[in-house]
Each structure stands twice: as C-alpha cells, then as structure tokens.
Chains A and B, each alone.
Chain A
Amino acid sequence: MKNLKKYLLLFFMLLSVSIFAQTQSSGTSAREAANKGKAELLKVLSDSKEFNLGVTASDVEGSEVGNPVEELTADFKSLVNNQNSNLSTISSRTERLIFPLVKNDKVVTIITVASTPKRYKAVELANRQYTSELNQITRATSFQGLKLILVPNINAAVYVMDDRAFTSYNGRSIREATSLSDLTAELQKDAREFDVKFGEELRKGKLVR
C-alpha cells in the first residue's frame, strides 16, 4: 500500500512535469503571439483593400507592442448577491490579454492574445472599442498593471488601476478616474435591476444583446 502511494505520487509528478514541459516547448510567449498577430495584420492591410479595420498599414508599421492589459470578467451572481463585494475581488481571468500597438504615443490598434492549453495565440485583430478607450485613458503608467473588467448583462467595461476605475458606463467620461467602490455600488444596483427585469427570461432561454 505504501509502495502504491509512492508510485502514484511519482506518476503524478512525472505527469505534471511532462505537461509543463510540453507547454513550455510548444508554446510561444504572449508578447511573441502579439508580434505574430501584428505581422499578420500588417500583411492583411498591405495586401488587401477589402477590409475596413479602422487602421492603415502605415499606422501598424513601426508601431510597438505595448504592455498588455489583462482582461477579467465579473461574476454576475456575486455582484447581485454580495452586499460588500468589490469588483476586483469578484472577477476572474478570461485568459485574454489586450496588447496595444503604440506609435508616436498613440494606440493605433489592438491585438488580443489568448492563452490556450498549448500556447498563446492572437485571437482578435483590430478591436476599435479598446483602441478608442485606451487612447482616452491617461497613459502615464504605460498601461502597466491596468486591468479591464467586463461586467456581463449590464455590459460595463471598466479599466482598473489600483482603486481607481475608468469607464464610460452610464455616460461617464472615461478620461476621469472614479472610485472603484462607488462604481461597484452603482453596478450592483443596476445588476439587481437587470436580474429583476430579465433574470426569469434568461433562465428560460438564450438572449443576446
């Protein structure tokens, strides 16, 4: 029995080392994936005039991959039910990183990179909403440590840096920082209203917005 435990332990150790090694060897870093996405976007823009992606090849050329903004999603049930919840503590990672392409101090476009079990890969090119929003948020911090929290159902996109929040939710100016706790209280109120209004319908079937 003692030996069996030993063998099982050894087996799981070897298994985890093997999985880790596989991830490391086959995987590219997130920044490498963003650079690959940038190169592919540049090629699309250079070779084809068919798409209207809100950015030109000359914008992308010479731009640098900036610091990524980590994307999280808030747990809607926790927001509705927990009186003392804080948006940061009820949010979890979506495994997506938003890399701004920066040129002359301006975000020209976005490369979104996702972490998959095997590797990082660029999954979305040229998201204009994030481009516009990141250009409006003060970039004194070079986005270092900036997080984007998406709140489902009420569709709030909140950029968080420490205890400051930046959002255009409910007509706010995204340029001005707002207190995260005040914003959480407002989101909580709206989330509860949403739940009363559409919760039952949502439990019966799928809805989109």
Chain B
Amino acid sequence: MTLWGIGLLFLTQSCCNPGIIASVNNTIRPQETDNWCWAATTQMMAQNEGISVTQCDLANHRFGKTNCCDDQANDSSCRKTNDCNRPGWLELDYAGLKFTETGTALSWDELKKAFYCSKDILGYAYGQSGVVGHVVALKGYVTVSGTNYVVVNDPWSPCNGEERLLEYGEYVNPTGASTHWATFYKISKK
C-alpha cells in the first residue's frame, strides 16, 4: 500500500461517522448440538473474515477427538454425534483469528464503530456463576425512538438459530442473575 493509500485509509477510518443503523452481512449458523454455541459463534465470526471452519472441526480440536463430524444416529436434523455434545468456549485462535477480549461491555459508540466502520462481527458471552452460559454473535445496531438495540445472531436453538434485537442496556448488564462475561472485538485474520 502506498503512503497515499495509508493516508486515505487513516482519513476514512478517523472520519467514519456511524449512522442510526448498521448491519454486517453475516449468515446465521445454528449450533449443531445442544452445547455448541461456542463453535457456531466462532464459525460466524470466522466467516466474516473469509475463513471457513466447521463446528465439528472446532469440536474435534477442543475435545481431542476425531469423530465429532459424525451425524447423530437416528436423527435427520443437522445434529452431530452426542459423543461430542459438550459445552466449551470460543476457539478464535484455532480458527485463525486475532481478537481482543474484555470483561466489560463496549460503549455504545465503540459498538457502533465496530459494526459501521470496521464491519466486524463480535462475540458476546453472558451467564451466571457456576452455571453454563451462552455466547452469541453481534452483527449490528439500530436506534429507534431513542432506544438503542444490538442485533444478535443467536445460534440457539439447535439447527434453527435466530436473529433478534437486544436492548443495549441488557447487553451491558443482563436482567436477573446473569452478568456480562465477555465481549470479543477487534477481530481480524491472523
């Protein structure tokens, strides 16, 4: 890249002014077992960086197995073998991604810039102490009548998944016993 190119990139980034809505194009990947939200979310974040990984490859790596890509017997849905049906954690490094992890929520401005300017897909994990939590992909935002919403690509339920809107305050501090565990951002290919 020339000096002019670098300068132009710098100017574009520093002048980027997010609007009231943005959504990164990201195909939802439903989790392929009851426990694979971490694999499905890793898959969604990787695909946004042009990396193709399967959930079962991530599971094989995590659990040191070779049979996680086997279909679950007597099940015509997308489900993979129950032998690998275990909870886990995001496998971003193994998938070939660089990232930053924070235990506190990003500010609304940081979130907007991540989607609008950097076109990133973020990971968001939440849960309560001593209990298995959940992780989803965040893909955009919208402000409507003064309320800020984050757009979620949720790999739950298995073989379905869903896109929905989460009020920003709920992302920062979920209602009830759950808390914000981690946000994974500044995602790029290694």
A and B physically associate: yes
What residues of chain A have their CB less than 8 Å away from a CB belonging to chain B?
36, 39-41, 43-44, 48, 50-54, 73, 76, 93-96, 114-116, 121-129, 152-153, 155, 198, 202-203, 205-209
Closest partner residue, chain A, to B140 (CB atom): A50
Cross-chain contact A114 with B35 (CB below 8 angstroms) = no
Cross-chain contact A129 with B130 (CB below 8 angstroms) = no
Cross-chain contact B36 with A209 (CB below 8 angstroms) = yes
Cross-chain contact A209 with B167 (CB below 8 angstroms) = no
Chain B 144-166 interface mask (CB, 8 Å, partner A; 1/0):
11010101000011001011111
CA–CA, A127 and B175, complex, Å: 16
Cross-chain contact B23 with A51 (CB below 8 angstroms) = yes
Cross-chain contact A123 with B166 (CB below 8 angstroms) = yes
The answer, yes or no, to whether B84 is at the interface (CB within 8 Å) is no
CA–CA, A152 and B127, complex, Å: 10
Contacts of B131 in A (CB 8 A): 76, 152-153, 202
State the main secondary structure of chain A at its contact with B: mixed
Contacts of A129 in B (CB 8 A): 156-157, 160, 162
CA–CA, A95 and B176, complex, Å: 6
Cross-chain contact B165 with A125 (CB below 8 angstroms) = yes
Looking at B50-58, B85-93, B105-113, the stretch in contact with chain A turns out to be: B85-93
The answer, yes or no, to whether B21 is at the interface (CB within 8 Å) is yes
Q: How far apart are A64's CB and chain B's nearest CB, in angstroms?
A: 20
Q: Which residue from B21, B28, B147, B170 sits with its C-beta under 8 Å from A48?
A: B21
CA–CA, A9 and B144, complex, Å: 45
Cross-chain contact B37 with A209 (CB below 8 angstroms) = yes
Contacts of B28 in A (CB 8 A): 52
CA–CA, A198 and B132, complex, Å: 10
The answer, yes or no, to whether B185 is at the interface (CB within 8 Å) is no
CA–CA, A54 and B153, complex, Å: 12
CA–CA, A51 and B177, complex, Å: 29
CA–CA, A95 and B174, complex, Å: 11
CA–CA, A51 and B153, complex, Å: 10
Count of B residues near A, CB < 8 Å? 44
Cross-chain contact B169 with A123 (CB below 8 angstroms) = yes
CA–CA, A206 and B140, complex, Å: 26
Cross-chain contact B165 with A53 (CB below 8 angstroms) = yes
Q: Which residue from B21, B128, B164 sits with its C-beta under 8 Å from A128?
A: B164
Cross-chain contact A198 with B164 (CB below 8 angstroms) = no
Known contacts A124-B167, A129-B156, A207-B132; A95 and B175 CB within 8 A of each other: yes
Cross-chain contact B127 with A206 (CB below 8 angstroms) = yes
CA–CA, A38 and B163, complex, Å: 17
CA–CA, A124 and B126, complex, Å: 15
Cross-chain contact A124 with B165 (CB below 8 angstroms) = yes
CA–CA, A50 and B157, complex, Å: 22
CA–CA, A206 and B181, complex, Å: 9
Contacts of A96 in B (CB 8 A): 175-176
Contacts of A122 in B (CB 8 A): 147, 167
Contacts of B49 in A (CB 8 A): none
Q: How far apart are A42's CB and chain B's nearest CB, in angstroms?
A: 9
Cross-chain contact B21 with A50 (CB below 8 angstroms) = yes
Contacts of A155 in B (CB 8 A): 34
Cross-chain contact B89 with A52 (CB below 8 angstroms) = no
CA–CA, A147 and B104, complex, Å: 32
CA–CA, A206 and B125, complex, Å: 10
